Each structure stands twice: as structure tokens, then as C-alpha cells.
Chain A
Amino acid sequence: MAIGSASLVSDFALIIGIATAFGILARQTKQPTLVAYIAAGLLLGPVGMNLISETELTAFFSELGLVFLLFLIGLEIELDDLGTLLKPITLIGLTQMAIVAGSGTIGAYILGYDMITSLFIGAAMMFSSTALVVKLLADKNETSSLPGRLDIGILLIQDVIVVLLLAVISLGNGSVLSLSLEFLQVLVIIILLSGVSIIAGTYIIPRIIEQVDDTPHTLFIHGLAWAFLLITIVQQFDISIEIGAFVAGLGLGQLPYSNELQERVRPLTDLFMAIFFVNFGLNISAGYLGEVIVPGLVLSGFIIVIKFLSLFILIDRAKFTPETSFIASINMTQISEFGLILASLAYTEGFIGESIIALLSVIAITTMGLSSYLIRYNRTIHNEIEHLLALFDSEEKQDMDLPTQTDHALIIGYNNTVDRILPRLKETFDDITVVDKDADNSTRLSRMDIRYIYGDFKHGEMKNAAGLRSASFVLSFAEDKSVNKAILDTKTDNKTIFIRAGSIEDGLEYYEDGADFVYLRNILASEQLDRYLSTYFDDRETFKQQVTADIETIRRDAE
């Protein structure tokens, strides 16, 4: 009865409790939660009160955290979306990583670290944080802006590099030749597996899923099984298991259900990653912290400047406007959680000493803490120094036109009524998005000339994916009251919102919150029936004539 054992429960209660408290504090001060989790680990571990140490279960959960994180990142990559920006992004992304890694290595070397260690420090600092940037941009509704897309694209390139680096480091020590051969082998396997996974996700898995009446629950379990299957496969080749999860996610990311799957996996990832970072803090010993704090701060300042400048110059040279270059670069000035993950892996493999983990933690906390403010106030900062940026402006620089989703019609829930009103909506709106959580409708919807997202609208990220904020017409068939409330929260004067209510009380509440039209199926129907009944008792023949039109449409619908 392990859970019943006092120490395990209280350890977990402490870890999660302190992490939550710090997380809430971070949220209040607009800081990323990651910083809070590491701080919680520091407080509970040898640096602080020395209350708990890593246990087998926390270590296992940390491992699961990485697996789920990479799975999630794989799921989030939609190959189609990369399209237009792929070329500039790949070039910018790779060059910037090289510049940052190079400068970082030199910086660390100057501070007195040996060459190998400096290389690892440089490599660990070259990534920017996907979790942080995407999260904050989504909060500001900037993920679909041009700078937002550039950033997310560059982060995706970095994610791919992370996967490769993880593979390299897990190969361990060896001669350069054998290492390169092994790396080549790993690379081939990863590419092959990704291909298999994507083909399976695009062609085979949808066929299988079509055969059953799947619920989100079973899809979730099948998704996990797929991830675990690929984990087992990569493990046969001695490749680190996170990569299997990533490749599995990549395949399933091509499914129409990927958004739903992401939302299911996310809470698990949140939990396990919180434990991962607390665990990270737990592993830093007090002695090192004092030793690394000064070089940590120096490197933080240095890397923020390098990251910003390198990215700004690169994007600027790709002929984007100074504003776009500026915003896109200022968003990316932090180091990534992957830096920490790489460092802990490198430590396990014996490449670097324990103190480097502490050093990188200091850098992570500092740069992430600072950059969350930089992202939050990116436009304000831009406006302050706009006159300086004018120096970079020229005629030939312009932002490319991106297909953005604005002024579209958004429909939550799919049914016959939607079929009936679609033609009329198409006359007015160029873009129509339908979000539906019934897997049975997916084949049909994905064939229609609309944008279709499979998933439950109550999930937070789904609202961004569907462009709720920028839609100019919203029609909701959602049964969940909180969903409708959230839709009404985005009400503006030039947005029209129609909502189907479950009860009269709910309906009136929706009106109070600004709905333009609320309808209750049963009320509209009984009003009509009342009218018919009066006619019936008045004159049966008139009644029969009246309902003929109805009956004809019903028969047509039934076809």
C-alpha cells in the first residue's frame, strides 16, 4: 500500500503543494511557472530546507514528463502550417542557433570553463523556450501574427535539432569516427521512423479509427499506445525514448483529432513536467549555487543581447520590416527548458560536472524571468524605440502576406442545421471554421469546403486554434455552459453571437452576457406546434396544407 505510506504521500503533497503555491505566485507576478517549479525544488532540496530528496517515483515521473513533452511537441507540429515560411525560417533558425552556440561557447570559455564544458554550455543556451514563448504569445493573441509565426516556426526548427542532439548525447563517449557513424545511423532511423509514423498517421490510422465509434477517451488510450510502441522501437536501437515519443506525436499530429489529443496529453505533461523541474531544483546542491551565481548572471546578460541581436539582424536581412524583426527577436531572448534537459543528460553521461547544471538553472531562471516581461511589453518597447528602428527601414522590405484568420464565421458543433445555413454563411464569409467533437463527423467535415477542427471547444487551446477572438460571427451549439460563457467573454460590438441554450434560465443569462440571439430548441418547436394545433382544431384541412411544406423538407433531409 505504497500510496498509503505516510512519507510518500506527504512528500508528494509537499512537492506539488509548494510548486502550486510558487506557481500561483509566479502567475500573479506574470512570471513563467517553470521558474516557480525550479524555485520550489531549490526550497525543498539541499539548497533550501533539505526536506526531501529524489525518489524512484519522482524520477520516474520526471522521465514520463519528458516523454509526454516530446509527444506533445510532435503532436503540435502540423506539416501543412509550415508551408510559406519554411524556407526563411529554416535558414534563420539554423544560423541563429550556430551564432548563439558559438558566442555562448566563447563567453563560457572566457569565464574560465574548459573547452568541452564551454561547448555544452553554448549548445544548451542556443534554444529559446517553446513552452514559454508559445504560451505568452497565445495569452496575447499573437500566435498568428507574422512575428508570432516566425517565432513558432524557428522554435519548431529548434525542437527538431533538440531531438537530434538528445540522440547524439545519449550515444555517450567514443571516438569521433564511431560517433559520427552512430549518429548517421541514428539519423537514418529517426528519419525512417518519422516517415513511417507520418504515413501511418495520414493514411493508416484514420482508416482504423473510422471503423469504430471512438470516444475521446479511447482515442487518448490508442494515442498513448502508439507513443509507447514507438518508444519501444527506438529503444531497440539505443536511442533515447523521448525521441520515440516525438516521432509518435509527429505522426498523430497529422490526424484531424490531434488538437483533442493534445488537450488530453497536456494535463499529464503539465503535472509531470512540474515534477521534472522541481526534481531539477532538488538536484542542485547548495555549494554550487554560490559558485555559479556570478558567472550565471554575466552569461545571462550576454546571451540575452546575443540572442536578440543575432535574430534581429537575420530576420532583417530576410527583408522583413523592422517592426516584425524587432518583435520576433525580442520574444526569443530566453534559454529553453531543453537547455536544462540537455544539461542533465550530459551530466548523466559524464560530459559535464554538477555545477554546470546549477549554472544553467541560474541562466534559465534569469533569462526566462526577464523575457516574460519583454514578451508581455514587446509592443510598448517597440513603440518607445521605433525612431531608432527607422534606420533599418527601406523600400524593399515588406512583410509577406499570410493567410490569417480574421472576420471568419465560427460554428461550434455540427448538425443538420449547420448544413442548412452553410450556403447562406458562405455568401457573407470567406472563411468558415467548424469545431466538432464527434469523431463520426470527421470524415464528412474534412471533405467539406470549410476549415474543420476536431476537438472539444472547452479546452483552452482550442479557442485559439479556432480563432475565437477574431471571429466576427459565432454560432454555438455547445451544451457546456462554461463554453458559451467563454464565447460571450469575447463579445465585441462588431461580433455577432448566436447560442443554443439548454434551459430558459441559461438563455436569459446568455442575453445578459451579450448574446445576440439565444434559442431553445424546444421552445421554438413548441411555439410552432401550438400554432399548428390551433389550426387543427379549427380546420383539419388547413392544418394539412400548412404542414405539407414541413413534411416535404423533412423527407428531403432524411435522404
Chain B
Amino acid sequence: MTTLMTTLTVIFITASITLFLFDRLDHPIIPAYLLAGLIAGRFIDSAQLFELSQLGIAFLVFVFGMRTEPERIYSELKEGTETTLTQIIGVGGIVFIIAYLYSNDPRNSLYLATFAAMSSSLIGTELTRSEDRADVLHQRLSESIHFTQDLVAIAATIALTTTPFTIEAVLRNWGIGLVLILIALTFRTLLFDDIIGLTRGSRELIVLTGLTILLSFLAIVTVTDTPVLVIGSFAAGIAVAKFPENLEMIDTMGSLKDFFAAIFFVTLGALATIPSPLAVIIALCLIGVTALVKPAITAVILSLRGYDMRTAYLTGLNLDQMSEFSLIIGIQAFLLEIIHPAVFQGLIISSIVTMTLTAYTSRFAEPIYDYLSEHNILNTPDSQLMEKTEIPASLNEHTILIGFDVQGKNIAEKLKELGEPFIIVDNDPERVSEAMEHHTYYVFGDIMANETWEKLHLDDARLIISTIPLEKTSQTILDHATDQDVILRSYDQETAERLLDAGALYVSVPRFLSGERLSEQLDKILTNPEYKATLREQSEQNLEQYLDNEVF
């Protein structure tokens, strides 16, 4: 047995234990790995792991690239660019100036600024994503900000690992990166389908094909003498980022990524050793900036851009952790001896802390918000809200429709058809402007905030319908309702029962309603096989109609 095998044994057993503990506390996994590394670092020689952990970086970025379909870049950038860039410049700028004033060392300061400005997309999405993920505005916003940051991080990695660090060299490497991406896009358009076709669905060959593409791109970059790993792996990922062929590739590469990324993160932790006092100070500063300054700056930017305070705040809070891209930049710079060891150690410690902390802040985001707004720490001046429509004082017996998503639009249509007056409430600027175009009454604002309720002429209302399936929102609505009928929506029957007990007139549970319908159809088909053809024809027509009607 080679010593490398012994090292892997130590790594995986330690990681398994820390993962188990973190899992019990519902914590994210990356800090569990880093912690495992801190512990295992005492028993293993991390130098021999560099090769394997570099593979970890390659696979992490490769898989990220695979998910980066060009169509997605476009739609995410549309939503996230402005906010992200302002946020990066804001947070990064502050950190850079402070660090520079203190150390007079531009390069290390630049690294610290980058570490502070980026947030983790893996952890951000891991924490917010669940099977029945609500299409909640702040989650969507933070996802696109994360995504945009990741793209910026890739450009930053190339720049920050360029030696010598001159403008010409950085520009040259960016140029090479662009050329690689162009090659990747060409490959994706012209060759990828055919090559995947050749494997005839053999997963074994898909694994090898994916690796061949990855290694070929890495080999190309090696020739150009550019920092290889990140840009080569990213371009390779883009080359196969074609739906749906990339699914099987992501799936098979997934376990390779999991294996090598585990080694990578543990190695990172193992490299950190016992921190110097300077490293602790740096870590504390990074933690402070990441956990407090970054969310605050993001929230301010968003509220200036017209989002309501609550959305802005919750989005900001989703960004309160360090990014795994910072770790990738950090380890490369550390191995190239570009950054001070204390900066690297500070990075590792602050990553462990903020990545763990974020599990708690996302869990307690709402209570924290309630506390802040009750104590008037978050002021929402009216001028920052979008204008609401003039709601005539004569409005009477109206319906308040909360949530203008697909279901909301459906209901709005029905209400129009029935000739019932109604007001739409939503906090997504885009949806509100859509409502505006349809000449309906609307209020822009978050239903969780008291000031929104003041605009709804609640006393004259007859019915409140909400399409938002979150229990908290529903409870708030029930708290505000006086003698109006309330129809709510929930994901599951347990919540529905609680809401009914709390006074809702009816709770629509899509899972339940559709399940009822499904068992009805199933019974018919099993009892009478002849019915199969009829069912198929009818329900297909039905769907087609829906597709035509989908516009409000």
C-alpha cells in the first residue's frame, strides 16, 4: 500500500466523521471538509496531495462550466450584472483600501479584496434549494448574483494567478481565455452531439469522453503558458454545456467531482496549519466584512434599484459567505507563493466560519429581519417604493390577490371574467410592471411588511387569495385579515391543516388536488383499458389549450 493510499484513508475517514456531525446540525458540507483538513493535517503530508487536489479544482470548475449553458449566461446576467458589479466594487474597494493602508502591499490587498467580495454559489444554492422551492424573488435574485459572481471569479482567477503580474500579461491571458471559450463554443455547436452519439449511451465512454475533453483543453492551455487549471476546465465545461446531452455528463462527472473535490477541500484545510496572530486578525476582518458589510451593501444597492427592503435584505443575507472560488484562487496563489501565508490562513479560517454561519443566518433570516424592522433599524422611505396605482376610495367588496405568478395570473383572469374588482400585490418589479400593462389595480410591496397592508383598503375587501405557498406568509395574511374570507395555498396537507385551524376558509394544496385527479384517472384506466385512448386525447388537447391561454 502506497503512502498516498494511507493519506486518502485518513482524509476520507476524518471527512466522514466531520460530515456526519455537520449533517446532524444541518450545516453545509464544504466547511466540514475544511475542518476535516485542519484535523487531518496533523497526520498527513499534504504536499503529496497537491496533484489530486488540483484535479479537484479542475472537476469543480469543469462541472460548473457544464451547467453554464450560453442561454443561461444571458438570462442570469440580465438580472444580476448591475447589482453584482456594484457590490463587488463596493465591498472589494473598501477592503482593498483598508488592507492597502495597513500593509502598503497592493497585491495581497487585491487578493483580500477579491476574497471578501465573492460569495459561494455552491453553498448559497445548497441552503436555499429544496424540492418544492418557491419561486421567491430574493432566492432568484441571489442565485443570479451568485452566478454572475462566479463568472467574474473565473476572470479574476486568471488575472490573479498570472505571473509576472503586469497589465499586458493579464490582458494576454484573458485574451487566451476568450479564444478558448470560442473554441469551446465551436466544439459545442459542431462536434459535441456527434461525439456523444458515438458513445451510444455507454456511461463508461461518456466518463472517458468528458475526461478527454477536459484534459485536451488543459493540454492546450499548457502550451500557451497561461494559468492552466481554471480557464482550461471552464472552457472544457462550456464545450459540453449542451442540454440535454450534458445531463448524463454532469451525472457521471459528478462522482468524480465529489471524490476529487473532497480531497481538494480537505487538503486546503490541511495546509492552513496553526494560524499566526496576523492570520487571526485577517480572518476576523474577512468574517466581519462577509457577514455584515457585504449583505448590507447588497441590500442598499438592491433597494436603490427599486426592490422592497425585505427582498433586498434577504438577498443580501444569502450572500454572507466566502466563495469556493476564493479558495481556488487562494490555494493557487499560495502555492505560487504570491500571497502571504497569513492571508491564506485567514482565508481558510474565515471560510470555515462564514460558510458555517450562513446555515444559521439563512435559518433565522426572517426573525432577524422582523427584529430589525420593529426597531426601525431598517427604514423604508416611501420614495424608494415604486408608485402604486391610484386605488379609488370607492373600491368596495374587492378581492386582494397576493402573488402575481402563473397561478396568480390565472386567478386574475378568472376574476376579470367574473367581473369582480381586485388588487394585485407583488414585490417583484417585473411582475408588477406586467400587471401595470394590464390596467389592473396593483400595489408594489412585500406582504410581510406592515406598510403594504395600509394601501389595500382592507376594511372594504371581501376576499383575500394568496398564491404564495409559504406558511409564514400565510400566517401573516391570516393575522392581518379581519372578517375577510381567506383562501390560501400550501405545499402539504400538514400546513394546510394548521392554516385551516387558524381560520382560513380554504387551502389549496396542488399536490393534493392533482393527486385526487390522478387517482381518479388511474382507477378509470385500470377498470376499463378502452378508456386509455380517450384520456390521452382529451388531456393532450387540454394541455394545448393551456399553452395558448397562458398569456394573461
Contacts and interface: CB of A to CB of B under 8 A. Distances in A.
Interface of A: 1-6, 8-10, 12-13, 16-17, 19-20, 23-24, 27-28, 33, 57, 60, 63-64, 208, 211-214, 217-218, 220-222, 224-226, 228-229, 231-232, 235, 241, 263-268, 270-271, 274, 415-417, 420-421, 424-425, 427-428, 458-460, 475, 479-482, 485, 496, 498, 504-505, 507-508, 511, 515-526, 528-530, 532-534, 536-537, 540, 543-544, 547, 550-551, 553-555, 557-558
11 contacts: A3-B55, A9-B218, A10-B219, A63-B5, A221-B15, A268-B256, A271-B208, A522-B406, A524-B518, A554-B497, A558-B496
Given A27-B199, A530-B410, 20 more contacts: A6-B223, A9-B218, A20-B211, A60-B4, A221-B258, A225-B12, A231-B5, A268-B259, A270-B204, A421-B518, A425-B526, A458-B251, A481-B247, A518-B539, A518-B543, A524-B517, A528-B513, A533-B414, A534-B418, A536-B485
B550 A504 contact: yes
B510 A537 contact: no
Interface residues of B, number: 110
A519 B414 contact: no
Contact of A20 (B26, B208, B244): B208
A24 to B, nearest CB: 5
A551 B519 contact: no
Contact of A2 (B15, B54, B255, B336): B54
B536 A517 contact: yes
Contacts of A504: 543, 546-547, 550
Contacts of A12: 215
Contacts of A263: 255
A522 B248 contact: no
Contacts of B493: 416, 554-555, 557-558
Nearest to A225: B16
A5 B496 CA distance: 60
Q: Which of A23, A221, A544 has the most CB of B within 10 A?
A: A221
B82 interface: no
B542 to A, nearest CB: 8
Given A482-B247, A519-B517, A534-B418, A557 B512 contact: yes
A505 B550 CA distance: 11
B285 interface: no
A244 B311 CA distance: 53
B125 interface: no
A3 B212 contact: no
B511 interface: yes
B508 A417 contact: no
A522 B195 CA distance: 38
Contact of B547 (A20, A218, A479, A505): A505
B53 to A, nearest CB: 9
A267 B203 contact: yes
B167 interface: no
B256 A267 contact: yes
A421 B526 CA distance: 12
Nearest to B336: A1
Nearest to A60: B4
B544 interface: yes
Interface string B184-205: 0000000000010011111111
A225 B415 CA distance: 59
B174 interface: no
B89 interface: no
B29 A270 contact: no
Given A10-B222, A232-B9, A416-B511, A23 B525 contact: no
